[in-house]
Amino acid sequence: MAISFEILEEDIFGRTGRLKVGEKILKTPALLPVVNPHLPLITPAEMKSLGVGALITNAYIFHRSKEFREPALTRGLHDLLGFDGIIMTDSGSFQLSVYGDVEVSNSDTLLFQQSIGSDIIVPLDIPTHPDTSREQTEKELGTTMDRLREAMEILGPGAPLAAPIQGGAFPDLREQAGRTAGEMGFTFTPIGAVVPLMESYRYEDLVRVVLAAKKGLPSSACVHLFGAGHPVMFALAVAMGCDLFDSAAYALYAKEGRYLTTHGSKKLAELSELPCSCEVCRSHSADEMRQSPEKIRLLARHNLIVTLTEISRIRQAISDGVLWELVDERCRSHPRLLRGYRTLLTYTEELAARDRISKRGFLLVRACLLPLTVSHLVACRSTIPS
């Protein structure tokens, strides 16, 4: 079951595309909601009804769980979860990043993921923290690349394998990893170990890491940004060239009583109105949602709908050739996002070469974006009404 990726339209480094995994097809950019089998606030069947075509779950949980291991092996992951779309499985690298160790080998997790019918299988890569020394980063990157080679040997040519791109915060190592993965023939390439950058709002470093990996990767590779959660940063990530995201934020924020919007999050306890027209917000007042015994599930559903809607909005912006405008609007909602945006704008030569001539929409701000430097951009924008 091979993985292939077809690019349809482009704007900045962003593109719409068609990811094909076996006979299953997914429009990109796309979100893969994270499903925790122990506590699914939204079931995979509900996700499908909302338009979700792919999801991600953790094979390590199934591998170690007395409750789920045998059913997954016997029935297969799709039947067990009740989802016939694309299912990607993480190998246990998330647990490795959190706990520092896992009780599974690379070969064990590869064969287990294959046995339960995963559509996209992830080797046990080493998620190197961005603050790790170069010497240690190089060592761990070497281990990751060895495991990618081992994965191809174990599962054979044409296996639906992902190739996580590691390299810490060192752009040259990210570029090297991307180039090597491309030479090995991988077409599905998640960029790993970037959650710490996003959690600490280091969007400048995120831009550098992603664009370095993209420089090494072939343009035909489908790029997945591991752990990208909040919809406010999706437009920037797509503008950098990311095609897929996975996120548990819809559930995590709900458990904290937080209500997602495309410009940030709000505390449900402080809302007098629900500023959204999704099915959840149309059928509940703020007071009703707060008092509902299903409050967390309702919040999770709203959060997921908002996130999916933002992905659709981004695809349309690419089609219209106005992704810059959406990025500009979203990044102005947070000063650290704006720094990441300005870092992206320093890649002027590459951006100018990719900026589309034909556009369905056009705003005055576009005249200031390319091929100017950040200082020119700031000076030019001082003349634009807010």
Q: 209-247 burial by CB neighbour count: b if 16+ within 10 A, else e?
A: bbbbbbbbbeeebbbbbbbbbbbbbbbbbbbbbbbbbbb
CA neighbor of 87 nearest in space, from 64, 116, 67: 116
The helix/strand/coil state of 164 is: coil
Q: 75-113 burial by CB neighbour count: b if 16+ within 10 A, else e?
A: eebbebbebebbbbbbbbbbbbbeeeebebebbebbebb
Containing 225, the helix (H) or strand (E) segment is: strand 222-225
Pairing of strands 24-28, 14-21: antiparallel
CA distance 252 to 318: 29
Which residue carries 């909302």 as its tokens? 50
CB 191 within 8 A of CB 226: yes
CA neighbor of 164 nearest in space, from 153, 146, 178, 176: 178
The helix/strand/coil state of 127 is: coil
CA neighbor of 206 nearest in space, from 307, 328, 337: 337
74 φ, ψ (degrees, to nearest 5): -80, -50
Query: Which of 11, 79, 84, 90 is an active site residue?
Result: 90
125 included as an active-site residue: no
- Residue 267 C-alpha from the chain's centroid: 24
Q: Enter the tokens of residue 329.
A: 């609007």
Positions marked catalytic:
90
